[in-house]
Amino acid sequence: MIELIDVVKNYPMRQGMRTVLDRVNLRIAPGEKLGILGRNGAGKSTLIRLISGAESVSTGRIHRGMTVSWPLAFSGAFQGALTGMDNLRFVCRIYGIDIANAIPQVREFSELGDYLDEPVKNYSSGMMARLGFALSMAVEFDCFLIDEVIAVGDSRFHEKCNIELFEKRRDRAMIIVSHQPENIVNHCDRAAVLHNGCLRSFDDVAQAFDFYQNVG
């Protein structure tokens, strides 16, 4: 179970404090798939980063009763000066994963070939996405945080990711953030809408969409 209790997040801006998230409450049970809808700048990515623990809440509390992935934006979380392989080793070290096991898996899945030994900053966005996805599949989590479902990569890679994430790992919890309705409809059991800093949960994805369309 992951639980957010009265989570508030403020950012200092030139005009003063800006409240991006205002007393957000949320629960995610093991295996549950939650979609989060919201306009650009509504705070979706902020919410994901708070749940992942990459950022700290201003007030409130987040309880993580299961292992939570880093936000799979499929590009961030890498050091540009390091090679793909170095990034792989780094991730393995911080999560305590056996490097020897992970290498063939990532090599095969990412299809990066010799580029694995090149600095990540020389990668195209598609290559970055492939590395990012392959890496996140090397570490097993109870809950995956997905920021904009597989926005990059060609359709074949797209398909591969879908199988890996939504079929092979369908028993895991997932929080998917998107402004594209079909992603949420296809993969989520329920959805919540982020609007004006408040999160409204709906038991039904269709209801969430109605609300989303109306407030927009």
Partner 1 sequence: MHSGGSSLRRSLAVQLRVIGALLMREVITRYGRHNIGFFWLFVEPMIFTMGVAALWSALQATHGVRIPIVAFAVTGYSSVLLWRNMPNRLVGAVGPNLALMYHRNVKVIDVYAARLALEAVGATISFVALACFFTAMGWMQAPEDVGKVLIAWILLAWFGAGLALFVGALSERTEIIEKVWAPITYLMFPLSGAAFMVDWLPPSVQGAVYYLPMIHGVELLREGYFGSAVRAHYDLAYMTSCCLGLTLLGLLQERHISRRIAPE
Judged by the rule CB under 8 A, the positions of this chain that interact with partner 1 are 11, 49, 52-56, 64-68, 70-71, 76-82, 86, 89-91, 93-96, 139, 141-142
What minimum distance in Å lies between the beta carbon of 79 and partner 1? 6
d(CA 53, CA 71): 10
Distances, alpha carbon 4 to alpha carbons 66, 165, 175, in Å: 13, 24, 13
What minimum distance in Å lies between the beta carbon of 99 and partner 1? 11
Q: Which is nearer to partner 1, 91 or 192 (CB)?
A: 91
Q: Which is nearer to partner 1, 38 or 71 (CB)?
A: 71
Structure tokens that stand for 128 in this block = 């970055």
What minimum distance in Å lies between the beta carbon of 186 and partner 1? 26
Distances, alpha carbon 132 to alpha carbons 85, 127, 135, 186, in Å: 12, 8, 5, 22
What minimum distance in Å lies between the beta carbon of 141 and partner 1? 8
Q: Which is nearer to partner 1, 66 or 215 (CB)?
A: 66
Distances, alpha carbon 98 to alpha carbons 95, 141, 163, 171, in Å: 9, 15, 24, 23
Q: Which is nearer to partner 1, 30 or 216 (CB)?
A: 30
- 142: three-class secondary structure by DSSP: coil
